Amino acid sequence: MLELSKHILDIAENSIRAGSQTVMITVIEDIKGDRLTLEISDDGKGMSGDEIEKALDPFYTTKKVRRVGLGLPMLKLAAELTGGTFKLESEEGRGTTVRVSFGHSHIDRQPLGDIGLTIVSLIVGSPHVEFVYTHIKEGRQYRLDTRNIRCELGDVPIEHVEVLSLIRGDIEQGTKDLGATA
């Protein structure tokens, strides 16, 4: 994967398959500390200690469509190549959190990519799941919470094409206003 948003999409899709009702996606840019941190957490079924260990094995996957599970191992390697860190925490019955940091200015750090498209894709694919996207840069914050959007929409489905267009535009403008890194 060439963009971090694709890693986010992969992890969030894993969260959905694990039965999550809410997926929290956070991007933190710490320019002074030279860190870009991603955190994806869910309230899904969680994993056992053995499953956590297997999740980082590129030759293990629970997916039926392919025989390898490269997502998390590739993300871990991408972080480590920039002097970053990777942490996977999970508790059965309570959910999972993936926390990964990168050297923000490191030449090998993958770009964030189109996070607006990623969030919209998640909403389209799983309109019953709540998504909270937060982007923090130098103490300033942009936040999108589908629970709040649903309250405003009333009977209009969140996956309506015009709503999705507004959501994507709001993410693009909100992260632009922060001066977020692409």
Predicted TM-score of the model (pTM): 0.92
127 CB contacts (<8 Å, ≥6 apart)?
157, 158, 159
Which tens digits make up the pLDDT trace of 41-78? 999 999 998 888 888 876 656 555 544 446 898 999 99
pLDDT at 56: 80
pLDDT at 150: 95
Span 4-177: which CATH code? 3.30.565.10
> Cα dihedral sign for 36, 176, 3, 39?
positive
Strands 22-30 and 130-137: parallel
Q: Which residue has the tokens 């919209």?
A: 120
In contact, 142 and 148? CB cutoff 8 Å: no
Mean pLDDT of the residues in the chain: 92
Q: Which residue has the tokens 């996977």?
A: 88
Which tens digits make up the pLDDT trace of 126-175? 999 999 999 999 989 999 999 999 999 999 999 999 999 999 999 999 99
Domain boundaries in the chain?
4-177
